[in-house]
Amino acid sequence: MKRHSVERSGTIIVLSAFVLAMLSIIAALCMNSAYVALAKSEMRLASDASAKAASITYGMTGDIAAARLRARQICQRHSVAGAPLQIRNIDVYFGHASQNADGTYTFTENAQPTNSTRVHTSFVRRTGSVAALPALGQFLGRTEFELEEDSIATRVDNDICLVVDRSGSMAWDLTNELYSYPAELHGKSIIQNYFLPPHATGSRWAALKDSVNSFLTILDANPYQPRVSLVSYSSNFDFGDFHSDVSTIDQPLTIDFNSIRTKMTEIGTRPVIGNTNIAAGLRDGITTLSSQGTSRPHATHNIVLLTDGVMTQGDDPVALAAVALSQNIKVHTITFSAHADQELMLEVATAGGGNHYHAPDAATLTSIFTELAETLPAMLVQ
We find the least distance from the C-beta atom of residue 71 to another protein, in angstroms, to be 10
Distances (CA, A) of 339 to 90, 306, 342: 55, 13, 8
Query: Pattern of binders to another protein over 78-107, x per CB under 8 A?
Result: x-----------------------------
If the CB atoms of residues 12 and 101 are measured against another protein, the closer one turns out to be 12
Of 60, 200, 322, 362, which lies in the binding site for another protein, with binding defined by CB under 8 A?
Answer: 60
Residues 195, 273: Cα–Cα separation, whole Å: 7
Q: Which of residues 184-243 bind another protein (CB under 8 A)?
A: none
We find the least distance from the C-beta atom of residue 5 to another protein, in angstroms, to be 4
- Residue 35 within binding range of another protein, rule CB under 8 A: yes
We find the least distance from the C-beta atom of residue 6 to another protein, in angstroms, to be 8
If the CB atoms of residues 2 and 241 are measured against another protein, the closer one turns out to be 2
**Residue count at the site for another protein (CB under 8 A)?**
46
We find the least distance from the C-beta atom of residue 114 to another protein, in angstroms, to be 17
Distances (CA, A) of 69 to 72, 73, 128, 162, 214: 5, 6, 21, 35, 28
Amino acid identity at 196:
L
- Residue 115 within binding range of another protein, rule CB under 8 A: no
We find the least distance from the C-beta atom of residue 160 to another protein, in angstroms, to be 15
**Cβ atoms within 10 Å of 141's Cβ, excluding its own:** 7
Of 115, 316, 160, 166, nearest to 251 by C-alpha is: 160
If the CB atoms of residues 8 and 292 are measured against another protein, the closer one turns out to be 8
Residues 355, 302: Cα–Cα separation, whole Å: 11
We find the least distance from the C-beta atom of residue 345 to another protein, in angstroms, to be 17
Of 219, 278, 328, 371, which lies in the binding site for another protein, with binding defined by CB under 8 A?
Answer: 371
Of 273, 73, 62, 24, nearest to 169 by C-alpha is: 273
We find the least distance from the C-beta atom of residue 208 to another protein, in angstroms, to be 22
Of 236, 325, 333, 336, nearest to 277 by C-alpha is: 236
Of 47, 72, 74, 251, which lies in the binding site for another protein, with binding defined by CB under 8 A?
Answer: 74
- Residue 378 within binding range of another protein, rule CB under 8 A: yes
Contact segment (CB under 8 A) with another protein among 17-25, 176-184, 275-283, 333-341 equals 17-25
- Residue 266 within binding range of another protein, rule CB under 8 A: no
- Residue 20 within binding range of another protein, rule CB under 8 A: yes
We find the least distance from the C-beta atom of residue 84 to another protein, in angstroms, to be 12
Of 311, 322, 309, 310, nearest to 348 by C-alpha is: 322
If the CB atoms of residues 35 and 194 are measured against another protein, the closer one turns out to be 35
We find the least distance from the C-beta atom of residue 70 to another protein, in angstroms, to be 7
Q: Which of residues 36-55 bind another protein (CB under 8 A)?
A: 37-38, 41-42, 44-45, 48-49, 52-53
Contact segment (CB under 8 A) with another protein among 25-33, 121-129, 242-250, 338-346 equals 25-33
CA 356 to chain centre: 16
Residues that bind another protein (CB under 8 A): 1-2, 4-6, 8-13, 16-17, 19-20, 23-24, 27, 30-31, 34-35, 37-38, 41-42, 44-45, 48-49, 52-53, 56-57, 60, 70, 74, 77-78, 355, 371, 374-378
